[in-house]
Amino acid sequence: MKFKSLKCAVTGASGYVGSRIAEHLLKNQCTVYEMRRNLPKYKNKFTIQFSLGKDVNANALRGIDVLIHCAYDFSVTKWEDINKINVEGSLKLFQAAKKAGVKKIIFISTMAAY
């Protein structure tokens, strides 16, 4: 598989880490699907609505070669909520990706995550 032919989905694409990864992939001629909680004003076919803690539609990930997960919901501070949204939400995402046939998953966490 050639690097430039990859279809990549990036969670947290509106955040610092996710946006830098998406930008790098685009510069290397990958097709990038931004997975974001808030859709841009002018939605295009390369945006997938996604929010940690909510169910993930596996069909939205069909045809994706690589899922890069770097989203984290900083709005919650209690461990129960952090676990429910960030940990369980990530697991739901990974299960949906597996069901959709995504070939590779890359999980990125930052020091800023609790």
pTM score: 0.89
Q: What is the pLDDT of residues 66-110, one digit of tens each?
A: 999 999 999 999 999 999 999 999 999 999 999 999 999 999 986
Q: Is the pLDDT of residue 38 over 90?
A: no
Indicate which CATH number applies to the domain containing 29.
Answer: 3.40.50.720
Give the Å distances, CA to CA, from 82 to 5, 31, 32, 74, 109: 36, 31, 28, 8, 14
- The answer to whether residue 72 sits within a structural domain is yes
Residue 31 covered by a domain:
yes
Domain of residue 87 covers 3-107
The answer to whether position 12 is within a domain reads yes
36 lies in some domain:
yes
The answer to whether residue 25 sits within a structural domain is yes
pLDDT at 4: 67
Considering the domain boundaries, does residue 32 fall inside one? yes
pLDDT for the residue 109: 83
**What's the total number of domains in the chain?**
1
Q: In terms of pLDDT, which residue wins out, 14 or 94?
A: 94
Q: Does 95 reside within a domain? A: yes
Provide the pLDDT for residue 41.
65
